Structure formats: structure tokens, C-alpha cells
Amino acid sequence: MTVTATAVHPYPKTLHPIHATLLAGTVPLFLGALLSDLAYWSSYQVEWANFASWLIAGGLVFSGLALLCALAGLFRSRGGERRPIYFLLLVAVWILGFINALVHARDAWAAMPTGLVLSIIVTLLAIAATGVGLSRRVGVVA
């Protein structure tokens, strides 16, 4: 009996360009927030906290839309090849990012140090989600 290994591609190997753009935009936005937080931390210049707030808001928009794409992908794919880890990472990014937005809404230094810690975590999670999401799939080995 001969087993023939056939690579079947029931879905494109890479993310849709729009999905990819949304996902790729997430890291620079949350990273920008983290850098702004570091600037506020070291300078006490409150304008940096404002920058961080808007960057986080942008990060939430991008990661939120990417999350919707990922959710759609979960249902579209057959056999669960789209690893749910990508989806779960994005969920974590968005929830912690949202909490971070609320923390940053506190006035002046009340956002610190929690805001900085959350920015670090969210940025790392966003990098992980992007790495998993954009890595080339091996395809389905039947």
C-alpha cells in the first residue's frame, strides 16, 4: 500500500493582505505607546502620556479588526488548521490593550507604573501574535 502525501491548500497559505496589514500595524502602534510610556516615565512630561493613549487607541482598532478577521478564519478553515493560538493571542492583546487604555485614561501619574507594565506585556503579545499570524504555513499535510 502506497501512501501518497499530497499538499492540499483549501485556503491561501498567507493571510489576506488586508488582514496582514491590520495585524502588522498592531505592533508599531503598541510599541509606540510603550516608547511613549518610557519617555513619560523618565521625563514627567505629560504629553507623552497623551501620545501613549492615542497610540493604544489606534492599536485597539488595528488589533480589533485583525481579531475579527482571525475569528472569521477560524470558522472558514477546515480541520482547524488555522491554529487557534493565533486567535487567542489576539484576544489577549485586545483585552489587555483595552485595560491598558483605561489605565492610561487616568490623569497624570495615576497611569503609572501599571500603564508601563501593561504596555510591555501588550507589545510582547502583539509581537507573538504577529509572528504566529504571519509565519508561512506549512500547509496541510494529508
Partner 1 sequence: MKTANAFTALACSMVLLSACDSNDPDPAQYGPNPALPDMETRLLPAMTIAEPVPWGDRQPTVPQNYTVTAIATDLKIPRQTLVLPNGDILVAEGRGGNAPALQPKDVIAGYIKARGTTSVESGDRLTLLRDKDGDGLYEEQTVFAEDLDAPYGLAFFEGKLYVANQDELVRFDYEDGQTRASGPPAKVADLPSAINHHWTKALTISPDGRFLYVGIGSNSNITERGMVAEVDRAMVWQVDAETGAHKPYATGLRNPTALAIQPVTGQLWAVVNERDEIGPNLVPDYLTSVREGGFYGWPYSYWGSNVDPRVRPQDPEKVASAIAPDYSLGSHVAALGLAFSMPVMGEQFAEGVFVGEHGSWNRKEPVGYKVVFVPFRDGRPAGDPIDFVTGFRDDDGKTRGRPVGVTVDPRGALIVADDLSNTVWRVAPVK
Question: Is residue 72 a contact residue for partner 1 (CB under 8 A)?
Answer: no
Min. distance of Cβ 84 from partner 1 in angstroms? Answer: 22
* Spatial CB neighbours of 138, under 8 Å, sequence gap ≥ 6: none
Site for partner 1 in 31-60 (CB under 8 A): 44-47, 49-50, 53-54, 57
Q: 11 vs 41, which CB is nearer to partner 1?
A: 41
* # chain residues binding partner 1, by CB under 8 A: 20
* Spatial CB neighbours of 135, under 8 Å, sequence gap ≥ 6: none
Q: Characterize the bridge pairing of strands 140-141 and 7-8.
A: antiparallel
Which residues lie near partner 1 (CB under 8 A)? 44-47, 49-50, 53-54, 57, 99, 101-110
